[in-house]
Amino acid sequence: MAVETKEKKGGNILTGSDKVKKALPQMLKGGVIMDVVNAEQAKIAEAAGAVAVMALERVPADIRAEGGVSRMSDPELVAKIIESVSIPVMAKARIGHFVEAQILQSLGVDCIDESEVLTPADEEYHIDKSKFEIPFVCGARNLGEALRRIGEGAAMIRTKGEAGTGDVVEAVRHARKILGEIRALSIMPREELMTYAKQIGAPFELVVKVAEEGKLPVVNFAAGGIATPADAALMMQIGVEGVFVGSGIFKSGNPEKRALAIVKATTFYQDPEVLAEVSRNLGEPMVGRTAASLAATETLATRGW
């Protein structure tokens, strides 16, 4: 058994503790995490100011176009990406595919995305993320889903949005839903919490914690359909703590320029003058596809349980 316990103690040194796993995403706040499929793209992302890169086999727009089963990246590519940049490297594993996650951890990635963008390996159970030494990020559409993932050990949550569309509407829907449910929960009387936990299918202890603190116990980013600097700033103003950009950068006309513009927009999200400046002359955005035009079988956000 490769992975037995998350915490390892050597002398006075403790690795893989909850605190240490939750802290990595805390350092990424206010930043942009960019999807990359190879080392060249990773270098462009780093040079543009990305706080981390996400290694995957194909960006979501290509997964949609090409179809087929989508899996973890080739370890050779992941290793090359790790070598090529100094910023943290994340990589995607299929939902429930804990062996892909074990492989990614052994390669030295800094964080694993158990992602609905890849083809799920298990239609009932997610990975037991508490067993791993490195943090996981998971997608969520609502508070119940977010708290189930945190209950399984996720150290970071992102909205699912609808990846590979360039349409931000689903990311907005999911962020508003999660943040709205947190707001409602924070004024809910104590006696209603157990029934609420039952209704949303979330662990009671986490529901109580969110009610008391008025926020998720882990960092909360937006993802899925963010294609422009204005999209990134919109998500930040709605109340997330950072953004993931997938197909939006490397499927656009000028990836370098757009990547930097989205980085600046995420920092100066409250400053329309900066947003106007960075949004000028970015070249062609990715060719979008409205999320509403997707057939039920094409939606990725419905994956996850």
Partner 1 sequence: MASAIGVLSLQGDVAEHCRSIEALGRRAIQIRYARQMDSVDGLIIPGGESTTIAKLTADNADAIFDRIREFIDAGKPVYGTCMGSIFLAKEIEGSAQGRLAAMDIKVRRNAFGPQRFSFETTLNIPVLGEEPLNAIFIRGPVILSASENVEVMARVDANIGRLGKTAGSLPGESALYDSCIVMARQNNLLVSSFHPELTDDLRVHHYFLQMVEGLAPAKVSKDFEQFVHTKTPHTVNPMTLAAV
Residue numbers of the site for partner 1 (CB under 8 A)?
11-17, 19-20, 23-24, 26-31, 46-52, 82, 86-89, 105, 108-111, 133-135, 260, 263-264, 267-268, 271, 277
Shortest distance (Å) from residue 21 CB to partner 1: 8
Catalytically annotated residues: 92
Closer residue to partner 1, CB minimum distance, 86 or 293: 86
CB of 197 to partner 1, least distance (A): 26
User: Which C-beta is closer to partner 1: that of 108 or that of 201?
Assistant: 108
Question: C-beta of 12: minimal distance to partner 1 in Å?
Answer: 5
8 Å CB contact between 248 and 228: yes
Q: Which is nearer to partner 1, 56 or 112 (CB)?
A: 112
The residue among 6 and 160 lying less far from partner 1, judged by its C-beta, is: 6
CB of residue 51 vs partner 1: minimum separation in angstroms?
4
